[in-house]
Chain A
């Protein structure tokens, strides 16, 4: 074995090429996350192999020079080699027992740990189907007027699931009613945006539906929508006009069922062209606040967890 270094001589690792391969593997892995899972798998494999080789080099001192055999180790440990003349056992029993103990221990550990970790992590990713919310008869929505609708998204969860949307009746489009349904969650960091103009609390209507009570308050967001937290500002179509948000406000799918307005799932919008019923909207999968849905920055968020 090597002589111990003194305090004043920090140990230097021997030069090795393996870290380069390891780094290439990691880069492949990260690129693969964007481009394709196959590339990611190849990258992961490369990183594992080269990482192992690297770790082996570090552990044994140097890959090129042969690792000291068991007998050498025993000799330097100060124990007299007992069976110097006998050939070393090819598959020593102690090695097998050691491996079996570690392997069984790892197996038992995995059997215990995996379900526990899954119970902690998986529930957040399943059963995310958002419920539809009935906002009541269309007659409550005067044409061209914005309403702040406040409702419980999930009656089972109760008050904690309360959220608001800005609803505007755009009149008929090709014979079917057209609505603008904008979520009030700022797409900077998720604070509730407010109407940039008066909210007529005295004309508040409360509609009863299967989802409980829904408050409809007429509003005149003349200056669009403004976020109180960090000053994000949006126009009446939800397009960003100032501040830190990275895209336009999220919108709700909607449908008309038996003359009632029903909100569906939310989707993300990069930018709305036009306004009202003639607005052109490209739907993106719902993304979290602060995440780009178009342009090169969108590559940073290649996949969204289920919503």
Chain B
């Protein structure tokens, strides 16, 4: 009796999910994404990718809130940033999270890239995901460039002058690239609004699309084992158990067959 009640209560609680699943299949999809199989020897280093994703989500959320207070106008941009920092409740923290979070995002991107390189995880059949990752890196750096102008203080202004002029020295297309970035022959009133639009609409949109593609490929192709993986190298097929540390120094014996692949 009690178990029946318990079961029906559970069914009632889960009914909305069932309803959703029956009409969209989305619950199964999320379940597949979250509970897919990964190699048993997946390493802590392989959490860098999701750490990067988390940093990006922080940028998205804090950026949206900052946009509620920021004014992309040459005469009031800097004042509005000061307003966010000094007057808006918690604004100093919000802006700090966005500002320092940007650096965290880029640093994590490079660490994730280094991990993929050192693990050899870019090799066949994952080359395309490496290419998408490089595009994400370039897009993220462009996001950094466009965001740097927005506080509109002396540092921001002159750093952007220099950055645009560096682009201008590219052969053939450089002068045109610089004009497109500035929206004119000189940095003017349009440049700030242009960078703001790029920074908060175009480039994040591109990043979201690229990250979606990146994740799709990760799920489709699966996670790589670390290069030292004995399982992936088929070294664990002999009955001899792998050395396992128990305590600090002495390896202790371990029951056989524990580190077999599930398929065997």
Q: What mask results when residues 153 to 197 of chain B are scored 1 for a CB within 8 Å of chain A, else 0? A: 000001001101110110110111011101111111110000000
Q: Report yes or no: A301 in contact with B175, Cβ–Cβ below 8 A.
A: yes
Of chain B, the residue at the smallest CB distance from A128 is B185
CB distance from B127 to the nearest CB of A (A): 9
CB distance from B169 to the nearest CB of A (A): 4
Of chain A, the residue at the smallest CB distance from B183 is A124
Of chain A, the residue at the smallest CB distance from B188 is A157
Interface centre among A33, A124, A229, A306 (most CB of B within 10 A): A124
Q: Report yes or no: B158 in contact with A229, Cβ–Cβ below 8 A.
A: yes
Q: Give the number of chain B interface residues (Cβ < 8 Å).
A: 29
Judged by a CB distance under 8 angstroms, whether B125 is at the interface is yes
Q: Which residues on A sit within 8 Å (CB–CB) of B74?
A: 158-160
Judged by a CB distance under 8 angstroms, whether B75 is at the interface is yes
Judged by a CB distance under 8 angstroms, whether A121 is at the interface is yes
The 9 closest A-B pairs by CB, nearest first: A290-B169, A288-B168, A300-B171, A190-B165, A305-B179, A189-B165, A189-B162, A289-B165, A124-B183
B residues sitting closer than 8 Å to A (CB atoms) are 74-75, 124-125, 158, 161-162, 164-166, 168-169, 171-172, 174-176, 178-180, 182-190
Judged by a CB distance under 8 angstroms, whether A208 is at the interface is no
Q: Report yes or no: A305 in contact with B175, Cβ–Cβ below 8 A.
A: yes
Interface class of chain A by DSSP: loop
**Could you tell me the distance between the alpha carbons of A305 and B165 in the complex, rounded to whole angstroms?**
14
**Could you tell me the distance between the alpha carbons of A291 and B178 in the complex, rounded to whole angstroms?**
12
Q: Report yes or no: A190 in contact with B162, Cβ–Cβ below 8 A.
A: yes
Of chain B, the residue at the smallest CB distance from A289 is B165
CB distance from B39 to the nearest CB of A (A): 15
Between A and B, 15 residue pairs with Cβ closer than 8 Å are A33-B172, A123-B183, A123-B184, A124-B182, A154-B188, A160-B187, A189-B161, A191-B162, A229-B158, A288-B178, A291-B175, A300-B171, A303-B175, A304-B175, A305-B179
Q: Which residues on B sit within 8 Å (CB–CB) of A7?
A: 124-125
Judged by a CB distance under 8 angstroms, whether A140 is at the interface is no
Q: Which residues on B sit within 8 Å (CB–CB) of A289?
A: 165, 168-169
Q: Report yes or no: A305 in contact with B185, Cβ–Cβ below 8 A.
A: yes
Q: What mask results when residues 292 to 307 of chain A are scored 1 for a CB within 8 Å of chain B, else 0? A: 0000000011111111
**Could you tell me the distance between the alpha carbons of A305 and B174 in the complex, rounded to whole angstroms?**
10
Judged by a CB distance under 8 angstroms, whether A153 is at the interface is yes
Q: Report if A290-B125 is in contact (Cβ < 8 Å); known contacts: A128-B184, A160-B187.
A: no
Q: Report if A287-B175 is in contact (Cβ < 8 Å); known contacts: A128-B185, A160-B187, A160-B188.
A: yes
Q: Report yes or no: A301 in contact with B179, Cβ–Cβ below 8 A.
A: no
**Extra pairs beyond A125-B179, A301-B171 (4, CB < 8 Å):** A124-B179, A189-B161, A229-B158, A289-B165
Q: Report if A123-B190 is in contact (Cβ < 8 Å); known contacts: A160-B74, A189-B166, A305-B176.
A: yes
**Could you tell me the distance between the alpha carbons of A7 and B222 in the complex, rounded to whole angstroms?**
13
**Could you tell me the distance between the alpha carbons of A124 and B180 in the complex, rounded to whole angstroms?**
6
Q: Report yes or no: A229 in contact with B162, Cβ–Cβ below 8 A.
A: yes
Q: Which residues on B sit within 8 Å (CB–CB) of A153?
A: 186
Q: Report yes or no: A124 in contact with B184, Cβ–Cβ below 8 A.
A: yes
Q: Which residues on A sit within 8 Å (CB–CB) of B182?
A: 124
Of chain B, the residue at the smallest CB distance from A156 is B189
Q: Report yes or no: A290 in contact with B158, Cβ–Cβ below 8 A.
A: no
Q: What mask results when residues 151 to 171 of chain A are scored 1 for a CB within 8 Å of chain B, else 0? A: 001100111110000000000
Judged by a CB distance under 8 angstroms, whether A80 is at the interface is no
**Could you tell me the distance between the alpha carbons of A161 and B189 in the complex, rounded to whole angstroms?**
9
**Could you tell me the distance between the alpha carbons of A159 and B73 in the complex, rounded to whole angstroms?**
12
Q: Which residues on B sit within 8 Å (CB–CB) of A304?
A: 175
Partner of B166, one of A130, A154, A158, A290: A290
CB distance from A132 to the nearest CB of B (A): 15
Q: Report yes or no: A291 in contact with B162, Cβ–Cβ below 8 A.
A: no
Q: Which residues on B sit within 8 Å (CB–CB) of A288?
A: 165, 168-169, 174-175, 178
Q: Report yes or no: B165 in contact with A290, Cβ–Cβ below 8 A.
A: yes
Q: Report yes or no: A121 in contact with B175, Cβ–Cβ below 8 A.
A: no
